[in-house]
Structure 1
Amino acid sequence: MVHSNSLTCQLTTFACQLTPDAIPTALKRKILLHFIDSLGCGVAAREDRVLQMSARMARSQYAAGNSITLDGGTPLASTGAAFLNAVAINALDYDDGFEVAGRGMGHPGATLVAGALAAIGSRQVSGAAFVTALVAAWEINGRVILSQQPSPERFRQVYGVCQHESLGAAVAYGLLNGCDARELENCLGLAASLTPLPSLHKYNWQQRPLVSLKDYNAPAAEAGVRAVEMHLAGIIGPHDVLAGEQGFWRMMGSDQFHPDVLIDNLGSVWQLQHASIKTYPTCRWMHTALQSFEEVLITLPDPEKIQRVRVYASQLLANLFTDTRPQCSTDAQFSLPLAIACLVFRVPRHLWSSDAVRTSDDILHFAERVEVLAETHFDQLMQRHRRPAARVEVVMQDTVLMGKTIDYPAGTQENPLSEQQIVDKFIANLSALMLPEHARIFAQQLLDMERCEDIGAMLAPILG
């Protein structure tokens, strides 16, 4: 028997009872901006090699179906579409995040939007229902990962960046399939059981190339959607999977659990406020250094005359993010020297990890001018709080220009982006598909989707 006052069921009851009117207007706008950001990232990745390999695999292994896909190919069954769309959105490492006080805790957009999109195609989904499902999924996802943050010692042993998002994908897909609170509780139990293992420390850090699916959004999205499909087929999962000494937090390898974080002020204090958006298509831990450098760069009339760039950051950044000869797109997304060179040569951001960039002599030669040095203050922030602050120095022939310290990356609560900046990013990401003026109109239509009766029809311009 499922008890309606169980910890997990309190969350699913919140999700099922949530109405558009109960969501603050600012948060509805925020979720719409995150939705278009995710779509833009997915479409911009169509030429990415990992996405293309994943698309070939998906269409050979998953059944054809009605669920839409962002790679421009044919629709798939829901689980295959969830997997492929999450690969697409996360492929360029340009997708959004969830950050509290500078600590990043996943890329929810790739997983949760993929879960929600899997419901489109087989049925008509209204904009209001879609937005409400995304808000519920984002809120529960944020509370789950906050409730189980490990100690610094355990983090160094085991951690998963996005694996927990299987639960958020299940919330989104389950709501759009009409699940009630008890049914959704079963879906979360199944999703937790299907969640991929936490694997941050096995990304091939010491033996490149890095793994292709660096954050495992795709298996998490598939797990969430598959869990709902299993529930709809009558399969029983664990009850109240979030609670107790053997709950989901323990499955994910954490040594700490704060159950109050899951339910305190639910519906009045929103964790969705901590959702963040990226300005660079790289690992988030590099963004403070990139912003410090870019603010110096825009003041230089002749950036090609830069002789040296010194980045002062954590020891972790100095050890693992300085590859100047990336072998694959993931290597490029974790290379601070390459990203700095891309800024110097004004490479369009959706191309930073492309084959053309990784084989450009000019870019690779400039990357060798970048050195990353550990500074005690920044290292302590990373070790104790997982906060990647940084600053740079730019060495010219006759002077050294000092970049300011960036404590929080752009796109966070502490360093927010304007709505126009987010829309401009979306337009740039659609540049291979439509003219800027058409992309701007499309963005405004999507931001007004709450009044739309059929999201699938609205998304048609980017599906062909």
Structure 2
Amino acid sequence: MASHISSIADFILTPDIPHGPRDRAALLLIDTLGVAAGATHLDPSRIARQHAARFHGAADADSAPMLFDGRRVSIAGSAYAAATQIDNLDAHDGFNPVKGHIGCAVVPALLAFADARPDLTAGQALDILAMSYEISARAGLALHATVSDYHTSGAWNALGVAAIGCTLRTADAGCLREALGIAEYHGPRSQMMREIQTPTMLHDGSGMGALTGSMAALLALDGFSGAPAITIEGSEARPFWEDLGTHWTIMENYIKPYPVCRWAHAPLDGLRALMRDHGLGPQDIDRVSVRTFAEGAALFQGLPDTTGQAQYSMHFALSVLMRYGEVGPDHISGAGLQDPDVASLMPRISVAEDPAHNARFPQRRTAEVNVTLQDGTQLASGVVDARGGPDTWLPETEYQEKFMQFCAPVTGDERAGDIWNMRSRMVAEPDMPFSMLADLVTAPVPPRD
């Protein structure tokens, strides 16, 4: 095996992660699980779990419980259902340079494969999770740099999932190489802008990325071949792997404060700041105009009928913020989609593309917001960067508040608090069993009223 591939295999199969990236993995893990909890009762989540229960049966040794459900299905089915669940409540972490998401696929895969490893410690689990973020990020960078289409995250986070499966199933380097090739070949190279223009339950392809990556590892362990993965072994891809283990992309992932597309976050932050700083309510505002990058300006503009449309609608999200001062899970689902107060505000909003913001994308997601008050006063936000990224990190309390806002209504306050506290416990007690967290997040939740 070439030294280039051998060093990547060593990084994957024997992960040894520094304290900073390991600590960040703990935060990303718990934040993602909070989103999974919050998404439990959404229609896409229910459908995905029921599909897995019907069609993804497996023997006990090859099964795993579904998150916040408890029913046992195949490892691949469990990973698929949870990734689809998380992907359909658009509040999970992401990595700007790949214009996509990692945690929504690799966190479900970690829980699914770890079920058969009661010996796995919290520290080991965090190392494996951090490793999978690095593999996924570089696979995504390589794919974006070598193909013309803008593909969904499942096209490349499948490789991070395969890496988790091979590590937890103690594959050797040769088997791992085949698994990465299978995951890349079958990864869903779906076109992201199609979903932006016509939002559905497909979202960012991460459900299929988790399914494909899990199957890839298990197929390779059975002797199925698929190497090479050209996003790792191709000559054009090689530069993206040269700093593996020295540059930690996991530290550059963002955490979303709002459960909508990241492209709408800078406008939301700009309007939020103007309303806060000037004590504004919806009755004070005549018009809101936004200038941003082309992809953000292309977000769905109509009144949404579904949660998927609501999460890809800047106009709707800004109207929710204008009316309520926040955007939470209840605003983009159920009765929130038929809120007449929100609908009445949408005509006040206009969005336009600006070349200056195009030039910053995808490394930065910026916008400018201008508000015209009822008395004609003009207020301007200036250039706003979306909060929650490496340069605009949120206060610690805001991450906890977000987690509880998403998780507690589904699990109850006590259980949500226990899950949140696992973040610090896993870091402080790396030898504790990872199953202590797994048990908390795989047990069923009460039915929705």
For normalisation by structure 1, the TM-score amounts to 0.87
Answer yes or no: is 1:75 the counterpart of 2:69. Answer: no
Give the 3-state SS of the residue equivalent to 1:395 in structure 2.
strand
The alpha-carbon distance between structure 1 residues 189 and 174, as it changes in their structure 2 partners (threshold 3 A), is same
Pairing 1:11-22 to 2, within 5 Å after superposition: 11-19=8-16
- 8 Å Cα contact 1:82-1:118 kept in structure 2: yes
Aligned counterparts, 1:109-188, within 5 A: 109-124=103-118, 125-150=120-145, 155=148, 157-188=149-180
CA distance in structure 2 between the aligned counterparts of 1:275 and 1:388, rounded to whole angstroms: 13
Which residue does the alignment assign to 1:275?
253
Could you tell me whether the CA contact under 8 Å between 1:188 and 1:241 is conserved in 2? no
Distance 1:438 1:235, change over 3 A: closer
1:424 aligned to 2:413? no
Q: Aligned match of 2:301 in 323, 335, 345?
A: 323
Contact 2:124 2:430 in 1 (8 A): no
Cα deviation per residue 1:293-338 (whole Å; 9 max; x = unaligned)?
Answer: 11112235451212221112234433x2252311221111111111
User: SS in structure 1 opposite 2:288?
Assistant: strand
1:240 shift after superposition: 5.6
| Alignment match, 2:30 | 36
1:253 is matched with none
Q: Which sits farther off after the overlay, 389-398 or 108-117? A: 389-398
Contact 1:187 1:227 in 2 (8 A): yes
Helix, strand or coil for the counterpart of 1:203?
Answer: helix
Q: Which residue of structure 1 aligns with residue 375 of structure 2?
A: 398
2:274 is matched with 296
Q: Secondary structure at the match of 1:345?
A: helix
Q: Is the 8 A contact 2:288 2:349 kept in 1?
A: yes
- Whether 1:197 aligns to 2:189 is yes
Instruction: Identify which of 225, 236, 253 aligns with 2:225.
Output: 236
Q: Is contact 1:279-1:410 (8 Å) kept?
A: yes
Counting matched residue pairs gives 435
| 1:212-257 CA-partner distances (Å, limit 9, x unpaired) | 1110001011111101111222222224644565x8xxxxxxxxx3
The one of 319, 343, 354 equivalent to 1:364 is 343
The answer as to whether partners of 2:34 and 2:406 remain within 8 angstroms in 1 is yes
SS in 1 for 2:145: coil
Is residue 59–residue 76 contact of structure 1 (8 Å, CA) maintained in 2?
A: yes
Measured in 2, the distance between the counterparts of 1:240 and 1:322 equals 35
C-alpha distance in structure 1 between counterparts of 2:6 and 2:190, whole Å: 25
- What displacement does 1:148 show? 3.6
Would you say the 8 A contact 1:293–1:391 is kept in 2?
A: no
Partner residue in 2 for 1:46: 40
Does the CA contact (< 8 Å) of 2:231 and 2:237 recur in 1? no
Q: Where does residue 340 of structure 1 map in the other structure?
A: 318
Return the letter of the residue paired with 2:35: C
Q: Deviations over 1:176-231 (max 9, x none)?
A: 122233322222122122211232233272xx4x2311100010111111011112
Query: Aligned partners of 1:90 and 1:243: how far apart in 2?
Result: 25
Structure 2 letter corresponding to 1:310 = S
Higher helix proportion, which one?
2
User: Which residue of structure 1 aligns with residue 243 of structure 2?
Assistant: 265
Give the fraction of aligned pairs with identical amino acids, expressed as a percent.
Answer: 22
Aligned to 1:313: 292
- What is the root-mean-square deviation of aligned Cα atoms in Å? 2.4
| Aligned-pair CA distance for 1:81 | 0.3
Q: In structure 1, list runs of 5 or more residues that go unmatched.
A: 248-256
Q: Which amino acid aligns with 2:99?
A: M
| TM-score, length-scaled by structure 2 | 0.89
